[in-house]
Amino acid sequence: MKSKTIVKYSIISITFLIGLYLFVDQIFIRGRLIETYQGEVISVWDNTNISGRNKSNIYQASVRLNNGNIVNIVCQRSCIVGQKLKVEKFMPLIGWTENYYSGT
C-alpha cells in the first residue's frame, strides 16, 4: 500500500513538473512559431569563453536569410559556415523578443 502511494505521488509530481516546464517554455522562452526562413551560416561560435564553465555549450551562428537580413540563431545540433539551413522564428507569448533557432 505504501509503495502504491509513493508511485502515485511520484507520477503526479513528474506530470506537474513537465507541465510547468512546458508552460514556462511557451510563455516566457520559446513561444509560438511565427515564420520559417531559409538561410546560409556566415559565422559560428559557442559560449566556451564565458567564465564559470558550469553551463553546457550553446552553439550559435549568424545567418544571412534569403531576404538579406542577418540574424543570430541558436543551433539545435551543429552549424557549419556555408551550410544552408532552415531558420525558425519564435515569439514568446509574453515579451517582445524574437528568438531564432535552426530548424530540424
Q: Which residues contact 95 (CB under 8 A, 6 or more apart)?
A: 28, 31
Q: Which fold has domain 31-102?
A: OB fold (Dihydrolipoamide Acetyltransferase, E2P) (2.40.50)
Which residue has better confidence, 59 or 71?
A: 71
Confidence of residue 56 (pLDDT cuts 50, 70, 90): low
Among 78, 72, 77, CA closest to 97: 72
Q: What is the pLDDT of residue 104?
A: 61
Side-chain half-sphere exposure of 44, counting CA atoms within 13 A: 15
Instruction: Render pLDDT for 7-53 as a digit per residue (tens, 0 to 9).
Output: 999 999 999 999 999 999 888 888 888 999 999 999 998 866 656 55
For the chain, domain boundaries: 31-102
The C-alpha atoms of residue 25 and residue 47 are separated, in whole angstroms, by 21
Whole-model pTM? 0.70
Helices (H) and strands (E) in the chain — how many of each?
1, 5
